[in-house]
């Protein structure tokens, strides 16, 4: 198996949600897998990430796989707080 490249183009597919009238997000294509991974973890609501998958070339990653890529030491982008996280979570 060849090593994962965060520089490869990637596609993020939404979960099929039958109970809702619309999915939380639509299909998106990203210039790099790193951008797609960061978007999935930091921007998607948790219910949209659950059941979504990331495709990079022939490899597919589910929610757990996406999180593993994000938490990897090899992840090249700066990690930011999730969009739905409280802004003053560090202030106590």
* Structural domain boundaries in the chain: 10-71
Q: What does the pLDDT read at residue 86?
A: 57
Residue in 89, 86, 37 with CA at minimum distance from that of residue 63: 37
Q: What is the pTM of this model?
A: 0.79
Q: What does the pLDDT read at residue 15?
A: 78
Structure tokens at 71: 């938490």
Strand 53-56 with 10-13, pairing: antiparallel
Is the model's pLDDT at 28 over the cut of 80? yes
């Amino acid at each position: 198996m060849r090593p994962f490249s965060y520089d490869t183009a990637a596609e993020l597919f939404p979960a099929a949600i039958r109970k809702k009238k619309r999915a939380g997000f639509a299909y998106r294509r990203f210039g790099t897998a790193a951008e797609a991974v960061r978007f999935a973890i930091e921007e998607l609501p948790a219910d949209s990430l659950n059941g979504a998958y990331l495709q990079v070339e022939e490899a597919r990653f589910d929610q757990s796989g996406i999180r593993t890529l994000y938490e990897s030491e090899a992840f090249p982008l700066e990690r930011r707080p999730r969009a739905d996280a409280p802004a003053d979570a560090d202030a106590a």
